[in-house]
Amino acid sequence: MTPTTHATQRQPRWLRSWWYHAAFYAQTWRGSVASSILFPILYLASLGVGVGHLVTAHTGLVEGQTYLHFIAPSLLATTTMQLGEGESLWPVLASVKWIRTYHAAAATPLEPDDILFGKLAWVATRAFVTSIIYTIIVGCFGALTSWWSLTLPLIGVLITLAFSAPLVAYAAAAQSDASFTTLYRFAFVPMFLFSATFYPVSAYPGYLRPVVQFFPLYHGVALVRAAAYGRGSLAIQLAHVAVLVGLAVTGVLWGRRTMRRRLTD
Amino acid sequence: MTNDYVLEARRLVKRFGDFEAVRGIDLSIERGESFGFLGPNGAGKTSTMRMISAVSQPTEGTITIFGLDPSTHGPEIRQRLGIVPQEDSLELELSVRLNLEMFGRYFDLPRRVVRERATELLEFTQLSERANEKVDNLSGGMKRRLTIARGLINRPEILILDEPTTGLDPQARHLLWDRLYRLKREGVTLIITTHYMDEAEQLCDRLVVMDRGTIVAEGAPRSLIDRYSTREVVELRFASDNHEAFHDRLAPFAERLEILPDRVLLYVHEGDATLREIHASGITPSSALVRRSSLEDVFLHLTGRSLSD
């Protein structure tokens, strides 16, 4: 018998999958980096400074912050959500159905779990780097007033995974991308607009607030603001964390099933 | 291990819901052998290939590959297999070379080793000049060769190829066959599915004919032809569409007769002699061809259908 590969293994299998994504990104990153620095600056300049000028003139402070400082942290939450969405639906369906690169990977020592964990680890890596860039930019606009802000990159990773893990699981089982567009129209865009992103939840009538609080992004936005200003009770923040962790864990468990079924049936 | 089988399967079944794709097949493949699965689309070839690639689990039955059980030793087995799937599944946006190098990392090969092997394999598959080009720009035959090169990056003991030359032009097919001969000479075990008769006859030491999820015949290509067909075949075409009408008149001339929509096949020992007799009897086909029996005839005889159905 030849010795089993365990003895000589240098790199865990999921990490090989992470490397593959990283090597792929290294070939294609140039376009996305410029936009990920330029976009938040333009966004904050337009909404924060421009619209903020009107808000300050008419309403004054929002929850004790200038409008610019109020919306700046939420940008980190919406961006990491969008990263989770964008990395998970079409790219995964392409890999399991159109180009079938995950099938190619499943014919190597990698198991479906390795492919899934490598993918999510890579998405988390991108979320971490993006969140650091955004934290610095938001900080440059003066919107970070607490040392808790140092946790923002981790919160960004958590938000991304809360979206990415369930969506990867869903895409791994999908037969076509028809439902993806529906998801964007009726779930992601409303969530982006109505998760207390641009105004506080107190702006809604009382009976609508539970609806808003049902949105996963709402918990991300609340958490990011709390970290930026260092306010709010720790118990509530932990509840927000629990919601996001719950989504991510559910997504991973579901994804293990769908990925295995898709790649090994 | 007591024998030199690299792969053994017993009573292999694969079901998808109510559909039974593979219905209890047995296989034993020896080291260094070139083994083929021949059959039409939907015969269960690909489902079988996925099971013997240690990728999909059989619904029933057992497989051992290198003496190991794929349900418990999948990664160890696949470390030693090279798999060339039906679809190329290449990274179209990346260069030819990167496709190989990145794939090599899946096998935990050190970067330096992967680079060396990529260079060798590009040479072997005659893609060196295109090494830095995007895969998207390659022809179908080149992509296929790259997929084979990718399947060889881990120096596999068994190379499993699903329909390696489907959709390629004759020149590209012959180049590919040549590369597969070389691998065989180097001692690599080849497992190939195909629905091309000539490919099976060219490449396989031994093959199984599959139809509707079962094995209907097994043996060396030549021995299958000897067993299930005559030495020669006379192919006749008639101006009339009603070929059935000729059945009774032609039957006395042949050991066996097959009426196809576009032609009539007569299985005979001596084709030219038979053709002379047919002409002498006053039957006038619009065209006639005498050829040697092939695996196509074996398949037709065993299943009553032609392979291209």
Which stretches within chain B are classed as H helix?
A: 45-52, 70-78, 96-106, 111-124, 140-151, 170-185, 197-203, 221-228, 247-250, 271-280, 295-303
Asked if B74 has any chain A CB less than 8 Å from its own CB, the reply is yes
Residues B152 and B252 in one domain: no
Residues B134 and B247 in one domain: no
Which helix (H) or strand (E) covers residue A170, if one does?
Answer: helix A152-173
The reply to whether B84 falls in a domain is yes
Residues B253 and B285 in one domain: yes
Which helix (H) or strand (E) covers residue A86, if one does?
Answer: helix A67-88
pLDDT tens per residue across span A44-78: 889 888 899 999 898 888 988 999 999 999 999 99
Q: Pick the range with the lowest mean pLDDT from A218-222, B62-66, B165-169, B242-246.
A: B242-246
pLDDT at B3: 63
| A7 has a pLDDT exceeding 60 | no
| B309 has a pLDDT exceeding 70 | no
Nearest CA among A122, A76, A119, A126 for reference residue A101: A119
Residues B96 and B156 in one domain: yes
The reply to whether B273 falls in a domain is yes
Average pLDDT, chain B: 91
Residues B239 and B193 in one domain: no
Cα separation, B309 vs B302, whole angstroms: 14
Cα separation, A193 vs A203, whole angstroms: 13
Domains held by chain A: number: 1
Contacts of B106 in chain A (CB under 8 A): 16-17, 20, 105, 108-110
Q: What is the span of the domain harbouring residue B239?
A: 230-292
| B13 has a pLDDT exceeding 90 | yes
CATH number where B149 lies:
3.40.50.300
Residues B187 and B74 in one domain: yes
Asked if B91 and A24 come within 8 Å (Cβ–Cβ), the reply is yes
The reply to whether A50 falls in a domain is no
Cα separation, B81 vs B17, whole angstroms: 29
Q: How far apart are the first and last CA of chain A?
A: 29
Q: Could you give the C-alpha distances from B68 to B4, B6, B7, B128, B272, in angstroms and in order?
A: 13, 10, 9, 37, 53
Contacts of B156 in chain A (CB under 8 A): none
Domains held by chain B: number: 2
- Who among B56, B67, B78 is closest to A108 (CB)? B78
- Who among A1, A17, A264 is closest to B57 (CB)? A264
Asked if A107 and B85 come within 8 Å (Cβ–Cβ), the reply is yes
Residues B171 and B149 in one domain: yes
| In A21-114, beta strands by DSSP E | none
pLDDT at B26: 96
Q: How many CB atoms lie within 10 A of CB B290?
A: 16
The reply to whether B157 falls in a domain is yes
Residues B270 and B141 in one domain: no
Residues B216 and B234 in one domain: no
What is the rounded radius of gyration, in angstroms, for the C-alpha atoms of chain A? 20
The edge-to-edge listing of strands for the beta sheet with B189-194 is: B81-84, B158-162, B189-194, B34-38, B206-211, B214-219
The reply to whether B195 falls in a domain is yes
CATH number where B277 lies:
3.30.70.980
**HSE of A106, CA atoms in CB hemisphere, 13 A:** 25
Cα separation, A166 vs A252, whole angstroms: 7
pLDDT tens per residue across span A96-119: 999 999 999 999 999 999 999 999
Q: What's the gap in Å between the CA of A101 and the closest CA on chain B?
A: 5
pLDDT tens per residue across span B77-130: 999 999 999 899 999 999 999 999 999 999 999 999 999 999 999 999 999 999
Domain boundary among the residues B188, B220, B252 is at: B220
Domain boundary among the residues B220, B251, B274 is at: B220
Asked if A108 and B107 come within 8 Å (Cβ–Cβ), the reply is yes
Average pLDDT over residues B260-278: 91
Q: What is the span of the domain harbouring residue A113?
A: 73-264
